[in-house]
């Protein structure tokens, strides 16, 4: 609430706040994100994988591959379940990431629309024990 009030104060008296140019020394452009960077690294831990999901959404989209098909994870949650990195731990696609696990919530198969995890698993079952 304070932020909104201060924003109004600053915008109504903009001439009282002089512009300060930023130094041009050391300015660089960020490199374009490579799609390979969006491949999920389950060995880095569930927190890292969940950050990847948020960072690469909507594009290029964090993903894993199963049987040559790319599956994007659009939203995920961390669960306190230990498991081998990249191994599916249950029939609802809980993915082991070492000390914790990643539970995808919304996913998208290649060439298809976004769907819930339940919708994906009805037509594309991924059994426990599968290594991603």
52-71, pLDDT tens digit by residue? 999 999 989 999 999 899 99
Q: Is the pTM of this model over 0.75?
A: yes
**pLDDT at residue 38 tops 90:** yes
pLDDT tens-digit series, residues 61-116: 999 999 899 999 999 999 999 999 999 999 999 999 999 999 999 999 999 999 99
User: Taking the chain, what is the end-to-end CA distance rounded to the nearest angstrom?
Assistant: 46
d(CA 128, CA 126): 7
Collapsing DSSP to helix, strand or coil, 30 comes out as coil
What pLDDT, on the 0 to 100 scale, is given for residue 85? 98
When computed from its CA atoms, the radius of gyration of the chain, rounded to whole angstroms, is 21
Helix (H) or strand (E) holding 107: strand 101-109
How high is the mean pLDDT of the chain?
A: 93
| Angstrom distance (rounded) from CA 55 to CA 4 | 27
Judge whether residue 118 has pLDDT over 90.
yes
Q: Using CA atoms, how far apart are residues 77 and 79, in angstroms rounded to an integer?
A: 7
Sorted by where each begins, the domain ranges of the chain are: 29-123
Q: What is the pLDDT of residue 22?
A: 86
CATH level 3 topology of 29-123? 3.10.25
């Amino acid at each position: 609430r304070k932020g909104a009030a201060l924003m109004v104060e600053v915008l109504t008296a903009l001439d009282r706040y002089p512009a300060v140019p930023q130094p041009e020394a050391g300015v660089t452009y960020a490199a374009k994100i490579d799609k390979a960077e969006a491949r999920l690294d389950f060995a880095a831990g569930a927190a890292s994988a969940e950050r990847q999901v948020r960072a690469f959404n909507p594009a290029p989209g964090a993903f894993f591959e199963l049987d040559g098909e790319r599956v994007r994870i659009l939203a995920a949650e961390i669960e306190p379940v230990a498991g081998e990195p990249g191994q599916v731990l249950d029939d609802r696609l809980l993915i082991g990431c070492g000390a914790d696990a990643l539970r995808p919530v919304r996913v998208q198969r290649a060439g298809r629309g976004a769907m819930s995890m339940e919708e994906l698993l009805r037509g594309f079952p991924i059994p426990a024990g599968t290594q991603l």
